[in-house]
Structure 1
Protein backbone atom coordinates (compact mmCIF):
# COMPACT_ATOMS: atom_id res chain seq x y z
CA UNK A 1 0.00 0.00 0.00
CA UNK A 2 2.78 2.33 -0.92
CA UNK A 3 1.72 5.96 -1.17
CA UNK A 4 -1.60 5.49 0.61
CA UNK A 5 -2.15 7.67 3.66
CA UNK A 6 -4.28 6.00 6.30
CA UNK A 7 -6.40 8.36 8.36
CA UNK A 8 -7.80 7.41 11.76
CA UNK A 9 -10.67 4.99 11.29
CA UNK A 10 -14.08 4.51 12.77
CA UNK A 11 -14.81 0.99 14.02
CA UNK A 12 -17.38 0.57 11.22
CA UNK A 13 -15.21 1.84 8.37
CA UNK A 14 -14.33 -1.68 7.30
CA UNK A 15 -18.00 -2.68 7.03
CA UNK A 16 -18.86 0.47 5.09
CA UNK A 17 -16.04 -0.03 2.61
CA UNK A 18 -16.67 -3.77 2.40
CA UNK A 19 -20.32 -3.14 1.58
CA UNK A 20 -19.31 -0.61 -1.09
CA UNK A 21 -17.02 -3.07 -2.86
CA UNK A 22 -19.48 -5.96 -2.55
CA UNK A 23 -22.33 -3.83 -3.90
CA UNK A 24 -20.09 -2.65 -6.76
CA UNK A 25 -19.51 -6.28 -7.78
CA UNK A 26 -23.21 -7.12 -7.48
CA UNK A 27 -24.43 -4.16 -9.54
CA UNK A 28 -21.64 -4.37 -12.13
CA UNK A 29 -22.88 -7.85 -13.01
CA UNK A 30 -26.13 -6.31 -14.30
CA UNK A 31 -24.48 -3.12 -15.61
CA UNK A 32 -22.35 -5.12 -18.03
CA UNK A 33 -25.45 -6.78 -19.48
CA UNK A 34 -27.68 -3.72 -19.75
CA UNK A 35 -24.89 -1.70 -21.38
CA UNK A 36 -25.07 -4.13 -24.32
CA UNK A 37 -28.58 -2.79 -24.89
CA UNK A 38 -27.35 0.82 -24.88
CA UNK A 39 -28.78 1.53 -21.44
CA UNK A 40 -27.54 2.30 -17.95
CA UNK A 41 -28.12 1.35 -14.33
CA UNK A 42 -30.95 3.88 -14.10
CA UNK A 43 -32.81 2.07 -16.88
CA UNK A 44 -32.30 -1.19 -14.99
CA UNK A 45 -33.68 0.28 -11.76
CA UNK A 46 -36.74 1.69 -13.51
CA UNK A 47 -37.42 -1.51 -15.42
CA UNK A 48 -36.91 -3.67 -12.32
CA UNK A 49 -39.53 -1.82 -10.29
CA UNK A 50 -41.96 -1.54 -13.20
CA UNK A 51 -41.61 -5.30 -13.74
CA UNK A 52 -42.04 -6.18 -10.07
CA UNK A 53 -44.87 -3.68 -9.45
CA UNK A 54 -47.05 -3.91 -12.59
CA UNK A 55 -49.32 -0.89 -12.97
CA UNK A 56 -47.16 1.32 -10.77
CA UNK A 57 -47.85 4.99 -11.37
CA UNK A 58 -45.07 7.26 -12.52
CA UNK A 59 -45.51 9.24 -9.30
CA UNK A 60 -45.05 6.13 -7.13
CA UNK A 61 -42.06 4.97 -9.16
CA UNK A 62 -40.35 8.32 -8.71
CA UNK A 63 -41.09 8.20 -4.99
CA UNK A 64 -39.57 4.72 -4.68
CA UNK A 65 -36.48 5.70 -6.66
CA UNK A 66 -36.24 9.08 -4.92
CA UNK A 67 -35.80 11.07 -8.13
CA UNK A 68 -37.50 14.05 -9.72
CA UNK A 69 -39.93 13.96 -12.62
CA UNK A 70 -37.36 15.83 -14.74
CA UNK A 71 -34.79 13.15 -13.99
CA UNK A 72 -37.11 10.41 -15.19
CA UNK A 73 -38.27 11.62 -18.57
CA UNK A 74 -35.35 10.47 -20.73
CA UNK A 75 -35.13 7.11 -18.97
CA UNK A 76 -38.83 6.33 -19.35
CA UNK A 77 -38.75 7.51 -22.96
CA UNK A 78 -35.87 5.17 -23.81
CA UNK A 79 -37.57 2.21 -22.13
CA UNK A 80 -40.72 2.92 -24.17
CA UNK A 81 -38.75 3.37 -27.42
CA UNK A 82 -36.95 0.06 -26.81
CA UNK A 83 -40.32 -1.65 -26.34
CA UNK A 84 -39.50 -2.64 -22.75
CA UNK A 85 -42.40 -0.84 -21.06
CA UNK A 86 -45.82 0.52 -21.93
CA UNK A 87 -47.67 3.39 -20.36
CA UNK A 88 -51.45 3.32 -19.83
CA UNK A 89 -53.54 6.31 -18.87
CA UNK A 90 -55.95 5.70 -16.01
CA UNK A 91 -59.48 5.96 -17.39
CA UNK A 92 -60.86 7.64 -14.26
CA UNK A 93 -58.08 10.25 -14.14
CA UNK A 94 -56.24 10.87 -17.41
CA UNK A 95 -53.43 12.66 -15.57
CA UNK A 96 -52.37 9.38 -13.95
CA UNK A 97 -50.12 7.08 -15.98
CA UNK A 98 -49.52 3.46 -15.05
CA UNK A 99 -46.45 1.56 -16.20
CA UNK A 100 -46.12 -2.08 -17.24
CA UNK A 101 -43.19 -4.07 -18.55
CA UNK A 102 -43.67 -5.79 -21.89
CA UNK A 103 -42.67 -9.37 -22.69
CA UNK A 104 -39.39 -7.95 -23.97
CA UNK A 105 -38.93 -6.03 -20.69
CA UNK A 106 -39.78 -9.15 -18.69
CA UNK A 107 -37.13 -11.10 -20.61
CA UNK A 108 -34.46 -8.46 -20.01
CA UNK A 109 -35.22 -8.31 -16.27
CA UNK A 110 -35.12 -12.12 -16.14
CA UNK A 111 -31.67 -12.04 -17.78
CA UNK A 112 -30.38 -9.37 -15.38
CA UNK A 113 -31.84 -11.10 -12.32
CA UNK A 114 -30.45 -14.46 -13.41
CA UNK A 115 -26.93 -13.04 -13.66
CA UNK A 116 -27.15 -11.50 -10.19
CA UNK A 117 -28.81 -14.60 -8.71
CA UNK A 118 -26.09 -16.84 -10.16
CA UNK A 119 -23.41 -14.56 -8.74
CA UNK A 120 -24.93 -14.79 -5.26
CA UNK A 121 -25.53 -18.54 -5.48
CA UNK A 122 -21.90 -19.11 -6.48
CA UNK A 123 -20.75 -17.01 -3.53
CA UNK A 124 -23.05 -18.87 -1.10
CA UNK A 125 -21.73 -22.21 -2.39
CA UNK A 126 -18.16 -21.02 -1.91
CA UNK A 127 -18.39 -19.38 1.51
CA UNK A 128 -21.79 -20.07 3.08
CA UNK A 129 -24.16 -17.39 4.29
CA UNK A 130 -22.16 -15.46 6.90
CA UNK A 131 -22.50 -11.74 6.09
CA UNK A 132 -18.77 -10.98 6.33
CA UNK A 133 -17.80 -14.00 4.25
CA UNK A 134 -20.33 -13.16 1.54
CA UNK A 135 -19.36 -9.48 1.45
CA UNK A 136 -15.64 -10.32 1.35
CA UNK A 137 -16.14 -12.87 -1.43
CA UNK A 138 -18.00 -10.26 -3.47
CA UNK A 139 -15.50 -7.50 -2.63
CA UNK A 140 -12.24 -9.37 -3.17
CA UNK A 141 -12.38 -9.00 -6.95
CA UNK A 142 -12.49 -5.20 -6.78
CA UNK A 143 -9.17 -3.42 -7.30
CA UNK A 144 -9.66 -1.17 -4.26
CA UNK A 145 -10.34 -4.02 -1.85
CA UNK A 146 -6.61 -4.59 -1.34
CA UNK A 147 -6.39 -1.09 0.15
CA UNK A 148 -8.88 -1.84 2.93
CA UNK A 149 -8.16 -5.47 3.92
CA UNK A 150 -5.92 -4.33 6.76
CA UNK A 151 -8.88 -2.56 8.41
CA UNK A 152 -10.42 -5.92 9.25
CA UNK A 153 -7.34 -6.89 11.25
CA UNK A 154 -7.33 -3.52 13.03
CA UNK A 155 -11.01 -3.93 13.91
CA UNK A 156 -10.45 -7.39 15.38
CA UNK A 157 -7.49 -6.32 17.53
Structure 2
Protein backbone atom coordinates (compact mmCIF):
# COMPACT_ATOMS: atom_id res chain seq x y z
CA UNK A 1 0.00 0.00 0.00
CA UNK A 2 2.79 2.42 0.92
CA UNK A 3 4.58 1.83 -2.42
CA UNK A 4 1.37 2.57 -4.34
CA UNK A 5 0.97 6.00 -2.66
CA UNK A 6 4.60 6.87 -3.43
CA UNK A 7 4.20 5.80 -7.04
CA UNK A 8 0.98 7.85 -7.37
CA UNK A 9 2.70 10.94 -5.88
CA UNK A 10 5.57 10.62 -8.38
CA UNK A 11 3.08 10.36 -11.25
CA UNK A 12 1.25 13.51 -10.10
CA UNK A 13 4.54 15.44 -9.84
CA UNK A 14 5.59 14.26 -13.32
CA UNK A 15 2.24 15.26 -14.88
CA UNK A 16 2.40 18.68 -13.17
CA UNK A 17 5.97 19.22 -14.42
CA UNK A 18 5.02 18.34 -18.00
CA UNK A 19 1.92 20.58 -17.82
CA UNK A 20 4.04 23.49 -16.55
CA UNK A 21 6.62 23.01 -19.32
CA UNK A 22 3.93 22.86 -22.01
CA UNK A 23 2.24 25.99 -20.58
CA UNK A 24 5.52 27.92 -20.56
CA UNK A 25 6.21 26.85 -24.15
CA UNK A 26 2.76 27.94 -25.34
CA UNK A 27 3.07 31.33 -23.61
CA UNK A 28 6.48 31.89 -25.18
CA UNK A 29 5.18 30.91 -28.62
CA UNK A 30 2.19 33.25 -28.30
CA UNK A 31 4.38 36.19 -27.27
CA UNK A 32 7.05 35.79 -29.94
CA UNK A 33 5.67 38.71 -31.99
CA UNK A 34 4.06 40.62 -29.14
CA UNK A 35 7.21 41.91 -27.46
CA UNK A 36 8.51 45.13 -29.00
CA UNK A 37 11.70 46.64 -27.64
CA UNK A 38 12.08 50.40 -27.24
CA UNK A 39 14.95 52.13 -29.02
CA UNK A 40 15.99 55.77 -28.99
CA UNK A 41 16.90 57.42 -32.33
CA UNK A 42 20.59 57.52 -31.36
CA UNK A 43 20.51 53.73 -30.81
CA UNK A 44 18.76 53.14 -34.14
CA UNK A 45 21.35 55.21 -36.02
CA UNK A 46 24.29 53.60 -34.19
CA UNK A 47 23.17 50.01 -34.81
CA UNK A 48 20.20 49.72 -37.17
CA UNK A 49 18.01 46.67 -36.49
CA UNK A 50 17.14 44.29 -39.34
CA UNK A 51 14.10 45.17 -41.47
CA UNK A 52 12.28 42.13 -40.10
CA UNK A 53 12.39 43.35 -36.47
CA UNK A 54 9.40 45.25 -35.11
CA UNK A 55 10.35 47.73 -32.40
CA UNK A 56 9.26 50.98 -30.78
CA UNK A 57 11.02 54.30 -31.30
CA UNK A 58 10.42 57.43 -29.30
CA UNK A 59 11.53 61.00 -29.03
CA UNK A 60 10.43 64.46 -30.07
CA UNK A 61 8.96 65.30 -33.45
CA UNK A 62 11.62 67.57 -34.94
CA UNK A 63 10.44 71.14 -35.59
CA UNK A 64 9.85 71.88 -39.29
CA UNK A 65 10.01 68.23 -40.31
CA UNK A 66 6.29 67.32 -40.39
CA UNK A 67 5.15 66.86 -44.01
CA UNK A 68 1.65 65.75 -44.84
CA UNK A 69 1.75 63.90 -48.15
CA UNK A 70 -0.91 62.69 -50.51
CA UNK A 71 -3.84 61.09 -48.71
CA UNK A 72 -3.09 59.93 -45.19
CA UNK A 73 0.71 59.54 -45.53
CA UNK A 74 2.75 61.65 -43.13
CA UNK A 75 6.53 61.94 -42.86
CA UNK A 76 8.57 63.56 -40.11
CA UNK A 77 11.81 63.22 -38.18
CA UNK A 78 11.93 61.88 -34.63
CA UNK A 79 14.89 63.04 -32.55
CA UNK A 80 16.35 62.64 -29.11
CA UNK A 81 18.85 65.45 -29.58
CA UNK A 82 21.67 63.08 -30.52
CA UNK A 83 20.28 61.72 -33.78
CA UNK A 84 17.23 61.95 -36.01
CA UNK A 85 15.39 59.14 -37.77
CA UNK A 86 12.98 59.71 -40.66
CA UNK A 87 9.51 58.28 -40.03
CA UNK A 88 6.69 57.58 -42.45
CA UNK A 89 3.18 56.77 -41.32
CA UNK A 90 -0.05 56.13 -43.18
CA UNK A 91 -3.14 56.67 -41.11
CA UNK A 92 -4.81 59.15 -38.84
CA UNK A 93 -2.52 60.78 -36.29
CA UNK A 94 -3.58 61.31 -32.67
CA UNK A 95 -5.16 64.72 -31.98
CA UNK A 96 -2.28 65.94 -29.80
CA UNK A 97 0.45 64.92 -32.28
CA UNK A 98 2.49 67.99 -33.29
CA UNK A 99 6.03 69.23 -33.91
CA UNK A 100 8.19 69.54 -30.81
CA UNK A 101 6.02 67.05 -28.91
CA UNK A 102 6.85 63.59 -27.60
CA UNK A 103 5.80 60.51 -29.53
CA UNK A 104 6.29 56.75 -29.57
CA UNK A 105 5.91 54.76 -32.77
CA UNK A 106 5.78 51.02 -33.44
CA UNK A 107 7.07 49.67 -36.75
CA UNK A 108 10.15 48.59 -38.70
CA UNK A 109 13.26 50.25 -40.08
CA UNK A 110 13.34 49.74 -43.86
CA UNK A 111 16.19 51.30 -45.88
CA UNK A 112 16.92 53.82 -43.12
CA UNK A 113 13.29 54.96 -42.79
CA UNK A 114 11.13 53.92 -39.85
CA UNK A 115 7.81 52.72 -41.29
CA UNK A 116 5.37 53.14 -38.43
CA UNK A 117 2.25 51.02 -38.08
CA UNK A 118 1.14 52.83 -34.92
CA UNK A 119 1.83 56.31 -33.54
CA UNK A 120 1.15 57.29 -29.94
CA UNK A 121 1.31 60.88 -28.70
CA UNK A 122 1.13 62.46 -25.31
CA UNK A 123 -2.35 62.61 -23.83
CA UNK A 124 -2.00 66.04 -22.18
CA UNK A 125 0.46 68.93 -22.17
CA UNK A 126 2.57 67.56 -19.31
CA UNK A 127 2.77 63.83 -20.08
CA UNK A 128 5.64 62.20 -21.94
CA UNK A 129 6.38 58.44 -22.00
CA UNK A 130 9.07 57.37 -19.53
CA UNK A 131 11.19 55.75 -22.25
CA UNK A 132 11.22 59.01 -24.23
CA UNK A 133 12.18 61.04 -21.16
CA UNK A 134 15.05 58.64 -20.39
CA UNK A 135 16.35 58.82 -23.98
CA UNK A 136 16.12 62.64 -24.05
CA UNK A 137 17.81 62.97 -20.64
CA UNK A 138 20.70 60.79 -21.88
CA UNK A 139 21.26 63.28 -24.71
CA UNK A 140 20.91 66.28 -22.38
CA UNK A 141 17.83 67.58 -24.24
CA UNK A 142 15.15 67.10 -21.60
CA UNK A 143 14.82 68.72 -18.19
CA UNK A 144 12.03 68.13 -15.69
CA UNK A 145 9.54 70.96 -15.16
CA UNK A 146 10.65 71.23 -11.51
CA UNK A 147 14.24 71.84 -12.65
CA UNK A 148 13.15 74.67 -14.96
CA UNK A 149 11.10 76.45 -12.29
CA UNK A 150 14.20 77.29 -10.28
CA UNK A 151 14.48 77.64 -6.51
CA UNK A 152 11.37 78.56 -4.56
CA UNK A 153 11.29 81.88 -2.76
Q: Same fold (TM over 0.5)?
A: no
- Higher-Rg member (1/2): 2
RCO greater where, 1 or 2, for CA within 8 Å and sep 6 or more?
1
Query: TM-score when scaled to structure 1?
Result: 0.22
Query: TM-score when scaled to structure 2?
Result: 0.22
